[in-house]
Structure 1
Amino acid sequence: MGVCDTQKKYVIGLLASGLDLSGLIPESTIGKLIKLQSLDLSNNKITGFLSDFWSLGRSFKTLNLSYNQIFGSLPSNIGYFGGWESLDLSFNSFSGLIPTSFSSLSGLQVLKLNGNGFGGSIPGGILKCQNLVSISITYNQITRTVPDGFSIAFPKLKNLDISGNAIQGRSLDISGMKSITYLNISMNLFEGSVMGVFEAPLEVIDLSRNQFHGYISQVNANSSFNWSHLVYLDLSENQLSGESFHDLNDAHNLKHLNLAHNRFSQ
């Protein structure tokens, strides 16, 4: 399904999701749509980037290639699309490193790379994407630590999900993420105190299956955290100790709580 501009002269949007498309899109097709702004080819069997994809104009803003069979590395010239607002490449078979050229995507608001085989680390270039509202890089093979400055780079960020990797670090400071409400860093290798997480108006906190340790009383002493916002809290399968939270009585909206497999005294 195509969407044209107001003068019916150019195609600005193309939706071809779930049409059983396979292989590579033929040349001289998508690339001819020089005014295209939005392209959705999700839920197909596409195996590679379009050969003429890079001839699309700079007005291009939204790409959804999720749930396909695209493999290999993500091309570095992806940074050409500086006006991109949304990029969804989730549930493909991408491998290699996430390109440093992400630093050129300063207008990016939504980034979804879930369910691929990306390795290495989260590139420092992503810190230039300060308009990001949602970051999802779950179930890849990302290692090492998050880039220096990660905690203060995204003032508009609401959703951060980097679960299911092997990311390391001494906790995760989110004090600069003033808008964040959803945080999932489960199934990684984070360690140290959880204190830095309880610094924002979070509704969802999932820190499960990491290596966090220390006394939970440190959080109890943090009077600035607003427990009334909290809907979901999972700290299971860590090494936290001491007495459990004293302030849970203030979590009036809490619907899910899992503190199992820690070392709490009560």
Structure 2
Amino acid sequence: MTRTITYINVKSNLLVGSAPNISALVNLQQLDISSNGLTGPFPDITFNKQLIGLSLANNFLRGPVPPSVIQNPKLNWIFMSNNSLDPGPLFDITQLTGLRTLSAGRSRFQGAIPSLGNNTVLTEFTVPVNNFSSIPLDWRNVTSLTILNVASNIITGNLPMLPEYSTQTVIFGLRLALQKIDFSNNSFTGVIPKSWGGLSFLEEMNLAYNRLEGPIPPEIGRLNQLKTL
């Protein structure tokens, strides 16, 4: 029976105790235990080679993220915000070549946000309210990105180069382009890059509470889709 289970969804209950041991569920594809009161270590997914989705957000999971997470190339999405993980660096997501969504806000990560390499399928990268201190300066190869949120960290330095679009990128039949960026509540310095004027489909840009200087580039005023600045 356990080998035939492909989907578990028990989100938004009052479950307590340790997160479940799913090692016997070798055909499991999606696990959603979010918004409960679960404690204990982050689940080990060593034997869950078919897993494409993992939602653990809004619990009290602690400890490090196990190596089995980055050893699972089929993972498409990971939601793990609002847990009590050990402080430390974000795991190396360059090995997760199929990753499309990472939501890891308020997860006690620190240090540098790692390079995303040449990931061409990642659409959402949201890691607000951590203790990241730096960010890769060049994101132009991550052309599938639609949402980038690094708000409320302690990041210093210049704002990064972002993927520019004259047309939308088509991936998995979907038309994608960067639509929302949030760099607020950090310590970014320098100027707003003129190249951001090429973010043709950008709808929201939040740069509040930083140390930026200089004029807003006139190129930003030509972003016809921009609704919030």
TM-score, normalised with respect to structure 1: 0.74
SS in 2 for 1:152: coil
Cα separation, 1, equivalents of 2:164 and 2:43:
40
What is the CA-CA distance between 1:176 and the residue it aligns to?
Answer: 4.2
Listed one character per residue, the Cα deviations across residues 222-254 of structure 1 (whole Å, up to 9, x for unaligned) are: 3x8643211111xxxxxxxxxxxxxxxxxxxxx
Is this contact kept in 1: 2:137–2:161, CA < 8 A? no
Match of 2:185 in 1: 187
Aligned pair in 2 of structure 1 residues 34, 77: CA closer, same or farther (>3 Å)?
Answer: closer
Percent sequence identity is 24
3-state SS of paired residue (2:117): helix
Q: Which residue of 1 aligns with 2:7?
A: 13
Name structure 2 gaps, 5 residues minimum.
169-176
Higher Cα Rg, which structure: 1
Q: Per residue, is there more helix in 1 or in 2?
A: 1
Structure 1: gaps (5+ residues): 234-266
Q: 2:42–2:65: 8 Å Cα contact kept in structure 1?
A: no
1:66-103 alpha-carbon deviations (Å, 9 max, x no partner): 00001222223321111110000011122211122x22
Query: After superposition, where does 1:58-207 map in structure 2 within 5 Å?
Result: 58-94=49-85, 95-100=87-92, 102-124=93-115, 126-144=116-134, 146-149=135-138, 151-176=139-164, 179-194=177-192, 195-200=194-199, 201-207=201-207
Count residues with an aligned counterpart: 216
Shift in alpha-carbon separation, 1:116–1:31, aligned structure 2, 3 A: same
TM-superposed CA distance for 1:32, in Å, is 1.5
Query: CA, structure 1 residues 40+26, in 2 after alignment: closer, same or farther (shift >3 Å)?
Result: closer
| Preserved contact between residue 153 and residue 176 of structure 1 (Cα < 8 Å) | no
Instruction: Using CA pairs under 8 Å that are at least 6 residues apart, name the structure with larger relative contact order, 1 or 2.
Output: 2
Residue 54 of structure 2 aligns to a residue in which SS?
A: strand
Equivalence for 1:252: none
The 3-state SS of whatever aligns with 2:11 is coil
Q: Give the TM-score taking structure 2 as reference length.
A: 0.85
Tell me if the contact between 2:159 and 2:188 (Cα under 8 Å) persists in the aligned partners. yes
Q: Partners in 2 of 1:10 and 1:231 — Cα distance?
A: 47
Q: Which residue in 2 is equivalent to 1:257?
A: none
Partner of 2:36: 44
